[in-house]
Structure 1
Amino acid sequence: MPNAFDLKSAKRRLLLPLQRVATGWWRRQSPARQDRFATLGPLVSVLLFLTAIILAFWYLRNEEIERESEAVKRDTEIAQQQIRLRLIENQEQLMRIAREIVTRAVDTHDFSAQAKGFARERPEVTHVTWINARRETRASVSGAGFQDDSLMRSDGNDPSMPVANQSNPPESAFQNAKERRQPVYSQVFSDYNGTPVFQVQVPLIDRSGFSGVLIAEYSVEALLRYYVPTEVSSRHSMAVLDDGDKIVASSVTQMPGKRSKRASILHEAPLAPAMNGLVLRGEGYRTSIGLISNTLFWMVVALSTLTVWMLLGTWRHMRRRLQIQTALTSETNFRRAMENSMLTGMRALDMESRISYVNPAFCAMTGFSEAELIGRKPPFPFWPPDRLEENARLLQQEIHGRSPAGGVEVKMLRKDGSTFDGRMYVSPLVDTKGKQTGWMTSMTNITEAKRVRDQLSASHERFTTVLEGLDAAVSVLSVQQGELLFANRSYRLWFGADPAGHALLSGSQLGRSTGPDADEEVDDYSGLPPQHLTDAGADPREVFVESLEMWFDVRTRYLQWTDGRLAQMLIATDITTRRRAEEQAALQAEKAQMTSRLMTMGEMASSVAHELNQPLTAITNYCNGMVSRVRNDAIQKDDLLAALEKTAKQAQRAGQIIHRIRNFVKRSEPKREAAQAHDIVEDAVELAGIELRRRNVAIHTYVAQRLPQLMVDPILIEQVLMNLLKNAAEAIDNAGLPASRRHIELRVVPKHTPELGGHIDFSVTDMGPGMPEEVISRMYEAFFSTKSDGLGIGLGLCRSIVESHKGRIRAENLYNGAAIVGCRFAFSIPVDISRLDPTLPTAAAGPSGPTASAVVNQIPTP
């Protein structure tokens, strides 16, 4: 008894913590969750019951199938054992007869007698035959126990006889017995009568070696009929299968023309000791009712399904009610939270104009508590004393449902005596039966809104005043409708109220969709996100309006108008005066360029005269020589023609010099055209060569091949090169440098840098004394010159010309340590980088570089 008491106490101590945990967990759940768990309990119980029934049926069925499988296996092994013992016994008897044949203890007559006794006692043996090593029959006894000469004929017509050079089962067994020197079982085959049989061949080995075999042929069907126990064949079907899984013999005769149903339970065992591919198969069929066809099982499933369906319906009904209850609670809490958090005051009146409800926002606005307002009738304490009649009139208007939809603006009194402006909106209160029970009034404090509105009005007035006073035209146009939303005084003065002026300035189709074909026009901006357009910056452009003969600097950008529409704002500033000044400046620059070229040719006048004197002197000499020889009849026709040709060449040379000078100094408008750098350099060097030869200065020219075309004014670029070459020659000559340093290098190569992109670089390098740093910083200033007779406009013009072609010009001294050994002027003209030859160098490589391909010219010192 104490032991039982201790056991109960121990169980109680173990279950008590679990009970506490379960109870605590249950109490922590919400009522809705507890109801859900209580509803799911019966459903889980029914499902567990149905699962248990299914598992029980499945377990019993598997037990029965396992018992039937064990019975089939046992019967198959019994039949295999009986057949195996019989074959082993027969094999031993055959081996005894074979030993007597080998020892010459028996002859054919005695063999026949022994074979007859052997065959009569063994109904499974069809015949016993003795053949020699040459496959000749010595004796043969049939299964009936008599001598039969028709058995085992060696003429090749008996399938049971081994025949040389054939691949039948008897021949294969014969060869195996001959090679292995032990009994061999053949594969199954059909004998002369079409009966499935197999042979056991016992080799005859005497002192001379292999002397033949002793053959016993078994009927497969007889083995099953005589050696499978009756109780086994009555319970299960036994069949023998060959190595191709084909039934050779069976204890059950199949119906002809019908295919037997495959057994559900199978067990296979080899037909030992034959081991010739034959398999003994036991077949059994399940006698139990399947789980699917069990009526009791389906009745249980149907009842369980009905119970589950009812529980699910109850659970869904409770869940729907719980959802409605939860939604109602959430809606109530949401509305209460919304009323408590919003700044709009709410006040409810019943049919007798008595206050039945106020929210915290209304109490905060008026300063009165909820207890001070609930149940009060007009006049209400938040009505100002001087507006009692007006508020009473508004209340009557509210009660009779004549309040405007936009609300009513009223003056309200706070508890502390201060007032504020409010706007009230009224709607009727209707119960669930559709009967009106009162009115709900919402009120917002608009004091700050009125102040902001007044400030915005003043700000808008100031903004409009500023825009109207601008000298620039400001307009805003709707993108979709083409409507002019705003236009200041300057726009109206120039273009009136027509949106076509906006479209003319912006260069788009905006504002032109007001004609008869407006419906057929396509909006280019439809579908575009407004944010991407409004984030884009202004697009400056200059527009000339022919009707006004004025130039405008136009800047546009997209914005969202006050009503949310996408609009385009345009600011057009009158730049007519500036454009005229720029035209005058351009004209003055052109005159300065012309003046610079004339000054350059003036400085080169003596050199040009000397250059022209050489061909003219040669022409005079040729003419005088020809006249003298013609007078003396001392000239032949060929000599006369040669002298005339030389005279013509000298005249052409003089004409080319004059043509180059005329093209360089003639006045013409700047004109951009496609030009080759090589042609520009050639013309500039030819003109500058006159001055260089006069000053005894040599020039080395390097121009890279396959350069892209330049879109430039060739004369202006020649002027820049002429000025740089002339300045370099003057620097060398004025410094009195020796002959080793009296040369200039002109290089033209393609380059590409991240800053400038693709461009062609022109550089002029001299070996002169260089320039001081202060001169480099001021050399582009107007009228600044280091020459006593210089005007100071050469380098300034060069810079203007290069920058007008969107290029850069630079100057730098060359150093050898701390000493200046020369100066380099360079300017770059941009080109399309895609047109550059990819094989060209991207840096200033010399002519001997591995990728350099250039034209090198040299003008030697005279």
Structure 2
Amino acid sequence: MKSRIKSHLNALARRWRGAWRRWSLWTALVVLVAAMLSTLVWLAGRYEASQVQSRLERDTADAVADIRAALTRNLQSLQALHAGDPGQLAWEVDAAELLRNRRELVRIEWRDADLRVRTHAQSPYRPVAWEVRLREGSQSDAAIACATARRLSSPAYSSSYFQPHGDGLGSEMMELCMPLTAKGRITGFLVATYSLHDVLTNLVAHNLTRRQEASFTEPDGTRLAALGAARRGSRMFTAQHLLDLPGTTLVLRMDSWHSAPSLFPNVLTALVTAMSIALVTVMVVLVRDNRRRLRAERDLADALAFRKAMEDSLVTGLRARDLQGRITYVNPAFCAMVGFSAQELLGQSANAPYWPPERVEEYRQRQAIRFAGTIPPREGFESEFMRKDGTRFPVLIIEAPLINAQGQHTGWMSAFLDISEQRRVEELSRASQERLQATARLATVGEMASLLSHELNQPLAAISSYATGSINLLEAPPAEPAGPASPAQAEQLRDLRMALQHIARQAERAGKVIKSVHDFVRRRDQARESVPAQQLLDAILPLVILQARKLGVRVHTQVEPGLPPVWCDRTMVEQVLLNLARNAMQAMDDPALPARVLTLRVRHAASNQHSAWVEFSVTDVGSGIPPEVAERLFTPFFTTRREGMGLGLSMCRTVIEQHGGYLGFAPHEPRGTVFTFTLPADPGTAP
């Protein structure tokens, strides 16, 4: 009895499982058919909507093409107004006729090259209150369009603006400016004013349907002008197209209203076909599902093998940890880096074997901060690990959250780079940089010594000359043997006092030269002050005149009146003037010269009489500078004299360029050379 009941229950269970399988298939079929019907209805609506949108896009593109073609025809008609150089009366007659034929144009102006209106014509269809003074202003839309046309040498449009009418209303206008040229020169401009509403009315309205509206808008959607029917229907379609004109860009927008889209006319046929396909599909679903499952398993195995091969080929160490800090994965590169096998590392959490013993507590705190949710820096951080044999090495660690397929944070993935070689290269680079800096300092010391030896020659030579003269005055026999000081003795004492004063002044000058050259080598800002140009000349004239007497050279100075003081380092600029004057006198050492004249001139910079620059020039009448010498004249250590060092002109150019000026030279007619340099005027006195 019990066995019979048990077999009956088993049969019921098998029957129930079979019934359940069949009902599940029918349920799947019903759901599939319902989903297909809903999808068909939705696709029908989408298809009809896409057709309406496509037609609207084509209509918008056609409207833009019509507007662009009409504007081109108008431009040709406007150009024809000036064909044959018409008179003012004939131009006004032709312009009025053009305005009657082209209603989108509301005003045409003939302007001269200065944008003043010579004559104009106005549309007879709509009164507009025009302000001539505002239209001729430099900031008007017409002036801006003409400026663009002048720059492009072609017609240009302005952006739209609101223009009030005489009837209390107003509309959006747009200006077209066309340059008029004669023999390659702009002789005037032709300005035509468009009404955006009339452009829509005359150029677009003939293509609009009863359910469409056309409008010009700004790029942000602001409507400028609109034309068409009011809203009808429950659904609106919109299309926009750019009207790109030289100088401005408008957006033509077209709106279309429709009722709810109807279904396909062959929906019944589609439903029958879909239901037949669904019946066949349900029967093969299980077979296909089984095949897909097997294929997915094979793809997954291939993907795992590919990922494994890729991770094993990396030289970057990889380590994965869960949220409790346990190591769940390491790649072979990480094992080779630390010297431990994967079995020794997996499952470690509190005390990793590659942590240095003295830094375990520090690494635990850092790990606790990481597991608390603090995201590490994207560029990574540096740390120190210990290999199994006890050697230490630096590593760069880059960590990122480990997110599973469901988007949940399950741990941390870390990448490790051994930067031992990078540290070694950085150390070598640092040592090389220190050696280069030491070499640069030695070169600077040599440069300073060369400049000092060159610049101290002149003040020391002057000191020697004045000292020799003083000794000669002291050794000269007195004019009278005894008695009170005679006038000759008094004159001799004055000369001696003056020579000693010059010696003191030149010694002080030598000290200033040393300080200025020292500051120059150290690349520090020199002490700038406001100095009159005449004082700079007066400071060097005694030395210049002293050498000029020895060489038989006459010195002329010319200082333009009303010059502002210059802003400069007095000592360095005086040295520049002295070097240039000394070189100029040495260039006139030819005995065959009939007259040796040195001219020192100071004036405003030639580019602008009211500029903030002062120009100094030193002119000689020597033999000039040959071309092969001119190419290397400012090269350091290049000289044409046996006793020269080749640093004077190089230093002079450096000093002038540090002041922001320019040092150059040019031939002087009929013979000789003129050196010119500029210095900035005192900002407090420059106009």
TM range (shorter): 0.3 to 0.5
Q: Which has the larger radius of gyration?
A: 1
**Normalized against structure 2, the TM-score is what?**
0.37
TM, length-normalised to structure 1: 0.30
- Greater RCO, 1 or 2 (C-alpha within 8 Å, sep 6+): 2
